[in-house]
Amino acid sequence: MIGCGNVTEKKSGAPAINKIQHASLVAVMARNKEKAEDYAQRHKVPRWYTDVDELIADDEVNAVYIATPPDVHLEYAAKAIKAGKAVYIEKPMARNFAECEEINRLGHEAGVPVFVAYYRRTLPYFIQLKALIDSGVIGDIRLVNILLHWQPYDEEVGENPKPRWRVFPEISGGGHFHDLASHQFDFLEYALGKIKYARGIARNQEGLYPADDIVVANFEFENGILGNGSWCYTINKAQRIDQSQLTGSKGKITFSFFESSLIKVETAEGVQQYDVPYPPHVQQPLLETIVKELRGEGKCPSTGETGARANRIMDEIVKR
């Protein structure tokens, strides 16, 4: 595993990997010696490194999890692929679609599989949501609407603000939109089909950091479903909302991408709610499918090809 950030403390990393049959985290790398050593000791990882080449060259490493900011995803993926080792890349897959394409090109040429951490494809909540869509309970889907409005993060405001890397485009590829909407577009394509058209407006209204802080978009799926969304990260906390709706010919489904375990279905027959909590380690179900594919026992639903599409859609919306 390259990187020892917060995502690896519970969502993924050793806590998730070491619970999977036929898998174990054998080495971890961070540029900071103390951070790498601390993570290895706390999570009982046998070896730690401060050099990415040394980790990739480790004979016991046969797959590499790139758990870093996106600015080095292409570089590290290229190194692992060259060494013939499968890669699992944190989302978004890279800073832009062009970098994603290059990773996929390298993987295809070397015959090395590429996976991306769009774990909602295997979470029970979203499996239930997709099952409801596929069942036709709300009929033919006509419209997708996304609302994601959040207040600024604490570190972005105040007398001495210190925004994190996610809002510096040279590192992340964008801002909070790129970090969060990537999950949304990936799942929507998984559940509803490919998006063929996407356009939008991205602006920085508040000036808290270099990246855009508000995005509005319209998009169209190949099957004719239309969608729209707004993402704003500078509202009052009292107006915070994470709500998405699928409107069909027979009803609608209301759900949350990040903050609620409830799915609400409304039809002429009435209202039905499903409460599907997230598991303790949200990336574990997806990681299990990767292990099975590498062992020739199944397929992972989140690949480099599918992961790149989220970047392509976001690039089109912000006109990059």
For 257-290, the pLDDT digits (tens) are: 999 999 999 999 999 999 999 999 999 999 999 9
> Hey, where are the domains in the chain?
6-118, 124-278
Task: Give tens-digit pLDDT for 139-174.
Answer: 999 999 999 999 999 999 999 999 999 999 999 999
**What's the confidence (pLDDT) of residue 13?**
96
Contacts 24+ apart (CB under 8 A), 122-127: 122/285, 122/286, 122/288, 122/289, 122/301, 122/302, 123/278, 123/279, 123/282, 123/285, 124/276, 124/277, 124/278, 124/279, 124/285, 125/261, 125/263, 125/276, 125/277, 125/278, 126/187, 126/191
Task: Give tens-digit pLDDT for 306-319.
Answer: 999 999 999 999 99
**What's the confidence (pLDDT) of residue 64?**
98
pLDDT over 80 (residue 205): yes
Task: Give tens-digit pLDDT for 234-258.
Answer: 999 999 999 999 999 999 999 999 9
Superfamily (CATH H level) for 6-118: NAD(P)-binding Rossmann-like Domain (3.40.50.720)
**What's the confidence (pLDDT) of residue 7?**
95
pTM given for the model: 0.96
- CA–chain centroid gap for 266, Å, is 28
Tokens of 170: 């040279």
**What's the confidence (pLDDT) of residue 284?**
98
Task: Give tens-digit pLDDT for 92-102.
Answer: 999 999 999 99
3-state secondary structure 131-147: HHHHHCCCCCEEEEEEE
**What's the confidence (pLDDT) of residue 9?**
97
Task: Give tens-digit pLDDT for 15-70.
Answer: 999 999 999 999 999 999 999 999 999 999 999 999 999 999 999 999 999 999 99
Superfamily (CATH H level) for 124-278: Dihydrodipicolinate Reductase; domain 2 (3.30.360.10)
Task: Give tens-digit pLDDT for 181-197.
Answer: 999 999 999 999 999 99
Predicted confidence band at 320 (pLDDT cuts at 50, 70, 90)?
Answer: confident
**What's the confidence (pLDDT) of residue 268?**
98
The Cα–Cα gap between 192 and 196 comes to 12
Asked if 183 and 120 touch (Cβ cutoff 8 Å), the reply is yes
Task: Give tens-digit pLDDT for 106-135.
Answer: 999 999 999 999 999 999 999 999 999 999
The Cα–Cα gap between 67 and 81 comes to 16
